[in-house]
Amino acid sequence: MAPRSVQIVLFGGFELLDVFGPVELFGLLPEQFAVTFLAPGEAPVRSSQGVTVNADHTYAAAPAPDIILVPGGLATREVITDEAFLAWLRGHGTAARLVTSVCTGSALLAAAGLLEGYRATSNKYAFRWVETFGSTVEWVPHARWVEDRDRWTSSGVAAGMDMTVALIRALYGDDVAAEATGMAELDYRTDSTQDPFAALHGL
């Protein structure tokens, strides 16, 4: 069986761990996942931490999607006003089998119309801002991550790794997930409702 394609949607100012936490886990399972990076253009994309990434494809030339992952970061507050980006994300995400996000990446999904009729969560520090997007999104404040059919969204930054473990378990079972987490020595949460950060931010 061919590995499943995971496309990481990059944009200027993306949050580094939102991307490379999940990528570390996917990358430890090359028989199950093949990771590629998408970018607005040919130039390297700079993260909010200053690390640059050379993407495999531009948005315009991206292959048909299977799984896509949209990170967050402070830059989402600028990217979310880019109508051309949102139009592309709407089309590309609609064609994907699974749409996932980390942190405020869910705000981008909502603004693109990809979370209408779904339950979702996001970074609790920015939750009040995120929940202003989408008309029929059921925003869940007390959640480390939320799985709703073909949409997976996680809380802030490090929560993306917990969501990724849960996704791996859903797709390939406990043994495969244990292989990745064992190699990464990751002590992860299995209860998606265990979220101390919601109360911390008054949610």
94 is catalytic: no
Q: Annotated catalytic residue: which of 68, 103, 163, 167?
A: 103
pLDDT at residue 1 in the model: 82
Strand 151-154 vs strand 145-148: parallel, antiparallel, or unpaired? antiparallel
pLDDT at residue 97 in the model: 98
Nearest by Cα to 59 from 82, 24, 92: 92
* Segment-wise mean pLDDT, segments of 10 residues, the chain, 203 residues: 96 98 98 98 97 98 98 97 98 98 98 98 97 98 98 97 98 98 97 94 92
Nearest by Cα to 182 from 80, 29, 45, 3: 29
Kindly report the backbone phi and psi dihedral angles of residue 61, in degrees, each rounded to the nearest multiple of 5, phi listed first: -105, 15
Query: Which of the 8 DSSP states describes residue 185?
Result: T
Tell me the whole-structure pTM to 2 decimals.
0.97
The dihedral built from the CA positions of residue 35, 44, 126 and 134, taken in this order, carries a sign that is negative
User: What are the beta bridge partners of residue 53?
Assistant: 45
Q: Which two tokens stand for residue 93?
A: 């995400």
Q: Which two tokens stand for residue 54?
A: 């050379």
Residues 86 and 102: their CA atoms lie apart, in Å, by 17
